[in-house]
Homo-oligomer: A and B are copies of this chain.
């Protein structure tokens, strides 16, 4: 398998499809990049785009998108429910296939330098690409949001990693980083009692003392009348889908409830699936290199 990188930039525009279309065109103009998904949310006033390709082409496409967003989006006019610091709010690079996290960190630093110098937008490196421990957390980088960061950027602890130490007058600032693939995974319980789903979510999530790389909430799926544990698996190599499933199944059993079914929302990296097969089939000694397509 070739070297591949996924990129999931978030833009502070979710109400004008024409603006989003122009940003998508900027990405699509780079040969070799494949657009995988785009979704806009009006109440968040935000769009999330997913694309992938060879590392260099993905970096070029991310720059083109950030440049176009800086032309089209005026943060002075922006209001929305989701925290944000700039027109291109955040650009994470995600390793796929044989690509390593180190390669994505290098990409993030190259892109950060380019955005800082050529677009004169301050850039903060975050998560795996962070240069300071406190910047691994995206909420910490975003503290004060666009409006508050105008002053806070002058403080020694908030100076950007690249670009000018002042906000861009309309595009604000951008967080650029590297992170593992995120899997959106929902487990439906055979009960309509959302309190049970909430209790299970609290037990398994990092903020409740559970798995550090798991985020989870309990919600009610009204059309099915089922309680759901809705989960972000932020690092499936730390905690596999099978382990999450087993943890929820065991917690649900303590409440006398069975699992109805589960679902993966959107895309899942191929590497997350063999591990489930290994567990289900009690496979001994299985190696990812045994997957035929990995060898070609």
Q: Chain B residues near A274 (CB, 8 Å)?
A: 273
Interface residues of A in 244-269 (CB under 8 A from B): 245, 259-264, 266-269
The chain B residue with its CB closest to the CB of A241 is B281
Distance in angstroms between the alpha carbons of A1 and B293 in the assembled complex: 9
A51 closest partner in B (C-beta):
B296
Report the separation of the CA atoms of residues A96 and B291 in the bound assembly, to the nearest whole angstrom: 11
A81 at the interface (CB under 8 A from B): no
Distance in angstroms between the alpha carbons of A235 and B165 in the assembled complex? 62
In the complex, whether A155 has a CB less than 8 A from a CB of chain B is: no
A77 at the interface (CB under 8 A from B): no
Q: Provide the main secondary structure of the chain A interface.
A: mixed
Contact-size category for A = 35 or more
A61 to chain B, nearest CB (A): 13
* One of A134-142, A201-209, A282-290 at the interface: A282-290
List the B residue with the shortest CB-CB distance to A249. Answer: B282
Smallest CB separation, A294 vs chain B (Å): 8
A4 to B294, CA, bound (A): 12
Interface 1/0 per residue, A33-72 and B, CB below 8 Å? 0101000000000000000110000000000000000000
**CB of A100 within 8 A of chain B?**
no
> In whole angstroms, what is the CA distance A270 to B6 when docked?
20
Q: Which of A146-162 contact B (CB under 8 A)?
A: none
A282: chain B residues at CB < 8 Å are 245, 259-262
Whether A292 pairs with B280 at a CB distance below 8 angstroms is: no
Contact of A4 among B262, B279, B283, B293 (CB under 8 A): B293
What's the nearest-Cβ distance from chain B to residue A117, in Å? 30
Residues in A57-114 with C-beta less than 8 Å from chain B: 96-97
Give the residues from 168 to 223 in chain A that come closer than 8 angstroms, CB to CB, to chain B. 181, 188
Q: Are A267 and B292 in contact (CB under 8 A)?
A: yes
Chain B residues, Cβ within 8 Å of A276 = 273, 276-277, 280-281
Chain B hits for A259, CB < 8 A = 282
Residue in A279, A283, A292 with the greatest tally of chain B CB atoms within 10 Å: A292
A293 to B53, CA, bound (A): 10
Looking across the interface, which residue of chain B has its beta carbon closest to that of A287? B264
Further pairs besides A263-B284, A270-B294: 4, Cβ < 8 Å: A241-B281, A262-B283, A268-B291, A276-B281
Query: What are 14 A-B residue pairs whose CB atoms fall within 8 Å in the complex?
Result: A52-B295, A53-B296, A96-B296, A181-B292, A245-B280, A261-B282, A261-B284, A263-B284, A263-B285, A267-B292, A268-B290, A269-B293, A276-B277, A277-B280
